[in-house]
Amino acid sequence: MISNEIFKTETLRDLIYFPLLFNVIGILSIGLLYAISPESTVGSRQFDLIIYSLVFITEWLLAFIVIRRLRRQVVSLKGFIMPRKEFRWMPALLVFVSLNALFTAYMLYSLIPIPSMGDLSPPQLLFFLVLSPITAGFVEELIWRGYFTEKLLAKGYNERKTIIFSSVSFAFIHGFFIPDKLIVTFLFGIIAGIYYIRERNLLVLMGTHLTVDIIAFALKIFA
């Protein structure tokens, strides 16, 4: 059992700083891309490769920071990720189906004005269909569902505020300027947060998130 005392040593500023870092890097990279290659457009292959590569690097940087903090407090990554309650099939199935249905519906809606990413090389397909989903599933659930949830609860926030605060922060890592995506990722965070609070099972959420991203990228690539 992991004591909540270990999470009281850190402030809550990371709920703001982590999404801010994503957006600053995104804005700077988009500006640089347009300066170097003005013909690049949102949804183009070059645009997506650069943006998602930077997201990939940023997420692993944040994962390194969080894992280092856990180790500093003598908490192993395995011990933090492993379920802390008895596994139940029904809640796991419900969260898997609901999150995949939510994001698949959103992707089908959002793909209408966005062109397919087209023909990608095998390394590019490996990145989008394997490496990027694994990264998002592992890092985002580790930080926003696991780490931040435990921090907020340890500081005395009730479960409702904990879920809302972590979900807002999670939504903003996906961009400040896309209202529909903010709403969908906020709802994603709410559903995943409720599941984590009740079941304390990050592995299910990581697997679900991984599947969500594989489907999302597949739709964007092959649609």
What pLDDT is attached to residue 206?
A: 98
Which residue, 43, 149, 138, is CA-closest to 81?
138
Which residue bears the tokens 């930077």?
A: 54
Rounded CA gap, 183 and 181, in Å? Answer: 5
pLDDT value at position 83? 93
Q: In whole angstroms, what is the distance from residue 53 CA to residue 13 CA? A: 26
- By residue range, what is the domain housing residue 119? 4-222
Cα distances from 201 to residues 30, 85, 106, in angstroms, run 36, 7, 25
Q: pLDDT in tens for each of the 223 residues of the chain? A: 455 555 666 667 899 999 999 988 888 877 777 777 666 555 567 777 888 899 999 999 999 999 999 998 878 899 999 998 999 999 999 999 999 999 999 988 876 555 566 678 899 999 999 999 999 999 999 999 999 999 999 999 999 999 999 999 999 998 777 788 899 999 999 999 999 999 999 999 999 999 999 999 998 888 7
Query: Would you list the DSSP string of the chain?
Result: ---GGGGGGS-STHHHHHHHHHHHHHHHHHHHHHHH-TT--TT-HHHHHHHHHHHHHHHHHHHHHHHHHHHHTT--HHHHHS-SS---HHHHHHHHHHHHHHHHHHHHHHTSSS-------HHHHHIIIIIHHHHIIIIIIIIIIIIHHHHHHHTT--HHHHHHHHHHHHHHTT-SS-HHHHHHHHHHHHHHHHHHHHH--HHHHHHHHHHHHHHHHHHHHH-
Q: State how many domains the chain has.
A: 1
Distance CA 146, CA 50 (A): 28
* DSSP assignment of 166-206: HHHHHHHTT-SS-HHHHHHHHHHHHHHHHHHHHH--HHHHH
